[in-house]
């Protein structure tokens, strides 16, 4: 919670057409004192609260009202600041900012949800070694100075904090965040090897998987609101296609142990789906390359990796507007610097690409990704 007395004093003073000097004279204080109150650099003496409230045409309770939640605009501004800190390698400052906001607004559920995202971004940049926007990779230098033990301590602390926040969202029961909190808690349980807890959470929420899309669409159409009906259908279709891509990717994974021909067939289906819907920016090319490397077809793997490098060097393909516009229209169609860096790190370090690293074609596509990364920093 935050006491916004300064803002309130300034607002009420202006509403009454008073200057700082006039308010100061009415209270027997100096104009600089009033200025400090309004900028929250100091607070009025307790003996002045009643006279101040009378001068401003309000009561003491109104002056002392705490702000329980951040506005959506303020929350967005804070998150932009935090993400920029992380990108510049200011990891500790970003974490402190998150903790400070959570301390000031302990009941703000949208803040808790956003804080989980910020902590996940911290973890991702710790893995990638940062992503300084100035082209010098400032964040990477900061992360590289940390030893393995320190990084693991950071990771565990952030993971525990995310778990605490996700549990708070879960217990609060707000429908806007409940299923996301369950997903986060299950993911953390799986990462920590707590399989029974993951299973308990999933079974506990079996009843929450019902899909009311068709009912919402019928309701909107009955009310004559075609735009709402269209948006509902498009958002649900986007989610279903995204879920289908995830399932296909799992089917293609080595852990599933499917036979070679089936994996190749599924790989082709994923390529067709990406071509039809363009959900996820057609990022399936990288996974297809890994599949063909696994079965020993280097030529096909290189073709997919070259396709991925070309995509990264250009714009990310937008979701098919025939199906998804206007409800799903991304504001940003460029690949994020973090995504490019993650792909580059994979190409440079993942063991599966080792057979390709001496080939000129592979070296050329890696260089194309590097050039795109440098271009995005300018």
- Domain ranges in the chain? 2-67, 72-209, 213-377
C-beta separation of 372 from 313 below 8 A: yes
Considering only 183-197, 225-239, 273-287, which range has the smallest mean pLDDT? 273-287
Tokens of 187: 């993911």
At residue 235, the pLDDT reads 94
Left (φ > 0), alpha (ψ -120 to 50) or beta: where does 129 sit? left
Task: Dig out the tokens for 242 from the structure.
Answer: 């995204």
76: left (phi over 0), alpha (psi -120 to 50) or beta: alpha
The pLDDT-based confidence of 285 (bands split at 50, 70, 90) is confident
Q: What is the mean pLDDT of residues 8-18?
A: 85
Q: CATH fold of 2-67, please?
A: 434 Repressor (Amino-terminal Domain) (1.10.260)
C-beta separation of 101 from 115 below 8 A? yes
pLDDT at residue 16 in the model:
85
Q: Give percent of the chain above pLDDT 70.
A: 90
| pLDDT at residue 5 in the model | 79
Instruction: Tell me the per-residue pLDDT of 122-162, one tens digit each, with 9 for 90 and over.
Output: 988 887 655 444 434 445 555 555 567 788 899 999 999 99
* Distance from C-alpha of 327 to C-alpha of 227, rounded to nearest angstrom: 9
CA separation, residue 14 to residues 17, 23, 320 (Å)? 5, 10, 51
């Amino acid at each position: 919670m935050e006491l916004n007395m300064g803002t309130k004093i300034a607002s009420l003073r202006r509403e009454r057409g008073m200057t700082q000097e006039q308010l100061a004279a009415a209270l027997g204080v100096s104009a600089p004192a009033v200025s400090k109150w309004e900028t929250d650099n100091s607070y009025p003496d307790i003996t002045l609260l009643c006279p101040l409230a009378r001068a401003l045409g309000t009561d003491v309770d109104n002056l002392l009202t705490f702000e329980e939640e951040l506005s959506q605009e303020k929350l967005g501004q804070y998150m932009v600041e935090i993400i920029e800190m992380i990108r510049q390698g200011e990891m500790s400052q970003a974490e402190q900012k998150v903790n400070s906001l959570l301390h000031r607004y302990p009941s703000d559920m949208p803040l808790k949800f956003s804080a989980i995202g910020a902590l996940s971004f911290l973890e991702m940049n710790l893995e990638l070694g940062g992503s300084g926007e100035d082209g010098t990779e400032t964040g990477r230098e900061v992360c590289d100075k940390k030893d393995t033990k320190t990084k693991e301590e950071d990771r565990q602390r952030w993971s525990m904090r995310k778990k605490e926040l996700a549990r708070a969202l879960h217990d609060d029961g707000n429908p806007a965040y409940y299923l996301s909190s369950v997903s986060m808690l299950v993911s953390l349980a799986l990462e920590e090897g707590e399989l029974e807890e993951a299973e308990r959470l999933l079974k506990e929420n079996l009843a929450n998987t019902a899909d009311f899309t068709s009912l919402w669409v019928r309701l909107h159409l009955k009310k004559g609101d075609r735009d709402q009906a269209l948006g509902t259908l498009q958002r649900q279709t986007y989610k279903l296609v995204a879920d289908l891509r995830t399932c296909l990717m799992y089917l293609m994974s080595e852990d599933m142990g499917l036979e070679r021909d089936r994996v190749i067939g599924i790989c082709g289906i994923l390529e067709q789906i990406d071509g039809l819907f363009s959900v996820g920016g057609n990022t399936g090319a990288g996974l297809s390359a890994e599949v063909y490397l696994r079965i020993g077809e280097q030529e096909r793997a290189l073709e997919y990796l070259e396709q991925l490098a070309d995509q990264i060097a250009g714009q990310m393909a937008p979701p098919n507007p025939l199906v998804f516009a206007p409800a799903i229209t991304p504001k940003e169609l460029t690949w994020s610097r973090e995504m490019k860096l993650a792909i580059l790190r994979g190409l440079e370090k993942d063991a599966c690409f080792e057979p390709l690293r001496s080939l000129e074609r592979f070296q050329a596509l890696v260089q194309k990704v590097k050039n795109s990364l440098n271009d995005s920093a300018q």
